[in-house]
Amino acid sequence: MANHDCKGCREYDRLTRRNFVGLTAGAAAAALAPGWLPRVVYADSDSSSRDVIVSLFLRGGADALTLCVPYAERNYYNLRPTLAIQPPDAGGANRALDLDGAFGFPPALEPLLEAYRAGDLLVVHACGLENPTRSHFEAMHFMEVGRGDPPASLYTGWLGRHLQATAPTLRDGVLRAVGIGAGLQRTLVGGPLTVPVRDPAEFGLEGRSRRAREAALEVMYAVAGEPLQTTAVNTFRTIDLLDDIDFRGYQPAGGAAYPDDEFGYALRSTAALIKAEVGVEAVAIDLGGWDTHDFQGPVEGHMAGLMGSLAAGLGAFHQDLFAGGVENVVVVAMSEFGRHAFENASGGTDHGHGGLMLVLGGAVAGGRVLTDWPGLGDGQLYEGQDLEITIDYRDVLTEILTRRLGNPDYRTVFDDPGYTPRTHGVTV
């Protein structure tokens, strides 16, 4: 989504050019609906208690040891003499913001402290994909389909399969999921009534002759037979639906101010979409640029800017939704892998293993760092160079699926014979 210059590896540059780039929940008061809400009435909800899920992918391999600083771990400072964020009691601006006496946020993530202290934000550390690959392409593919060794026949995403396995929350809804970006994220592939949308405010047929073109296409598809006819009808209904929401005129609640960048706009648009109560159950958003091989800049440079965008966007999103009493939402942020535990000679970090997840929501058991911390000392690093994984990322997703998304059978999503989920108390 956001355009952040970075001297990343060639593989990630290629993935970015192929559009491997890129929130969330609500119930609005109908009696006093603001002007940006559509005047649409649907049938009663089948599952109004479900959360809306926002899947946020930090593409490029985000450095978990900067996103959540293990400042109580002495080895961290030995491994990163120039890139380390200093302990909270150190002097100067490069100080961690204490979370629990052992871990802290870097200064750039300060806008997330309010959600953390309110108990709505959970940090899951030393987690991720247990497959040993260090390829962006493979790791993203594996995580998004939900298996570390997927067969060639498995091309659908874990969230797409969840939507296949569950009934829509609105019986007459025409849109269940949206992937904000140039193309549909693999996470959502296979989901019914799911579309990619680059800009929700400009979706559909453009130009003065739009209605004429719609009429012509309707005639063409009317004689095409099924399934094209139904697909065409749903497409036109989706265009009309999104056209009926005034995304540009949307007014956030609680004085929330989204950052003026692509990521902030995506979150702002998602808030408007979900508050409109049109049946959207899932949104996928990407934030790229985390491939920090050179000049990582965790305090004033490149990564600091990325983290600032992430934190400002999610902080505003939390304030906007929760100020209006909209808490039936869960945001899950993850990356394909972390970075090396030690810095390189170019002031950056290379492809690693263990990473981090952020989980935000009204039913999240937050205000803490959830981890089975493996340590960064000799004999504790994965392959002698990376943070070890002690929590499978699917454990977090499985708990959300079964407890918050109305899907009691995780096997419909993660049908991996070698995987048995563990419960970590992600939700309340």
Q: What is the 3-state secondary structure (H, E, C) of 148-202?
A: CCCCCCCCCCHHHHHHHHCCCCECCCCCCEEEECCCCCHHHCCCCCEEEECCHHH
pLDDT of residue 1: 46
Residue 44's pLDDT band, with cuts at 50, 70 and 90, is very low
DSSP result, 332-380: EEE-S--BBSS--TTSS--B-S-EEEEEEETTB--SEEE-----SSTTT
Q: Does pLDDT of 25 surpass 60?
A: no
Mean pLDDT, residues 307-331 taken together: 96
pLDDT score of 121 more than 50? yes
What is the C-alpha separation between 188 and 282, in angstroms, rounded?
8
**23 has pLDDT over 70:** no
pLDDT at 426 over 80: yes
Comparing 343 with 238, the larger pLDDT belongs to: 343
Per-residue confidence at 41, pLDDT binned at 50, 70, 90? very low
pLDDT at position 261 is 97
**Rounded distance between C-alpha atoms, residue 53 and residue 187, angstroms:** 12
**For residue 381, is pLDDT > 50?**
yes
Phi, psi torsion values for 330, nearest 5 degrees: -135, 125
Output DSSP code: residue 276. T
pTM recorded for the entire structure: 0.88
Neighbours of 269 (CB within 10 A): 25
The pLDDT of residue 46 is above 90: no
Looking at residue 299, its pLDDT comes to 97
User: Which segment of 81-85, 213-217, 285-289, 342-346 scores lowest on mean pLDDT?
Assistant: 213-217
Q: What is the mean pLDDT of residues 221-249?
A: 73
Rg (CA), the chain: 21
Phi and psi torsions of 158, nearest 5°: -65, -40
Q: Which is higher by pLDDT, 121 or 31? A: 121
Provide the pLDDT for residue 174.
92
What's the pLDDT band for 27 if we cut at 50, 70, 90?
very low
pLDDT class for 293, splitting at 50, 70, 90? very high
pLDDT of 106 strictly over 80: yes
